Structure 1
Amino acid sequence: MSSARRRRRLPDEVRAAVVRAVLCLAFTLVGLLVATLASYADSWLMTPALMAMGLGVFGTMWCLLEIMISRQVAAQRMRGPGQATPMAGSREPGRPRPFPQPAPPPAGPAPRQPRVPTA
């Protein structure tokens, strides 16, 4: 199996967060459908359906935030302590960074030093 075809598996906590987000989104869409049909029928169910839809939108956003946080935690757990963070740049591991070289002196004559009056 080539590495390009190999699929990376999500960690369990990320997969659970994705399942909760999909369920919450389904709950929101059902609330939207019930609210739409209740508004057409001029039914009293429209108010509870709108409240359920509002809670569903809040819950969906909460679940999406949970997915982002759990992915970051899982990535840090896989990297391990003491390793470079993703913000450190894209350097290959194991290759040391070269030390910065000092700047060459400016070309031309050296600048004159101001004379200090003596007493």
Structure 2
Amino acid sequence: MSAVDRRPPHEVRSAAVRALFSLSLTLVALIVATLASYAGSGLLAPALLLMALGVFGTAWSLLEILISRQIAAQRLRGPNSASPLAGSREPRRRPAGRRAPLESSRVWR
């Protein structure tokens, strides 16, 4: 991947969309529960149940984002990396002006 293309993989994007969807439903349930408690309505119990399920779903989705990011990073590193914490290590390159001495230019005495 180039430095310009910073788009996350498809799995990470879909997990983020699910997390935002779950968070938005949780916030709607919170608003409904608040209004139902002010009004003394019978919608309070279902709204609280939906809000509890939404909090669980949001936490699950955030955990899914973390796991899918780790899997995508591991896939980019490749199977022969030193360790998961090492990251990708590219070999150091010499500056363009300097070259290594040729083997055939040595003088044998």
State the TM bucket, normalised to the shorter chain: 0.7 to 0.9
Structure 1, unpaired ranges of 5+: 96-119
1:69 and 1:35 map into 2 onto residues whose CA distance is: 32
Q: Which residue of the other structure, out of 89, 93, 107, is the alignment partner of 2:90?
A: 93
Partner of 2:25: 27
Q: 1:91 to 1:67 in 2, by over 3 A?
A: closer
Q: Secondary structure at the match of 1:83?
A: coil
Give 1:1-119 correspondences, 5 Å limit: 3=3, 6-88=4-86, 92-95=89-92
Long gaps (5+) in structure 2: 93-109
Aligned residues with identical type, % of pairs? 61
| Aligned alpha-carbon RMSD (Å) | 1.7
Task: Give the Å deviation of 1:62.
Answer: 0.2
**Total equivalences in the alignment:** 90
- AA aligned to 1:69 is I
The 4+ residue runs of structure 1 with deviation greater than 4 A are none
- Identify the structure with the greater helix proportion: 2
Cα offsets for 1:48-105 (capped at 9, x unmatched): 00000000000000000000000000001111111133423x784225xxxxxxxxxx
Instruction: Please report the TM-score for the alignment, with normalisation by the length of structure 2.
Output: 0.76
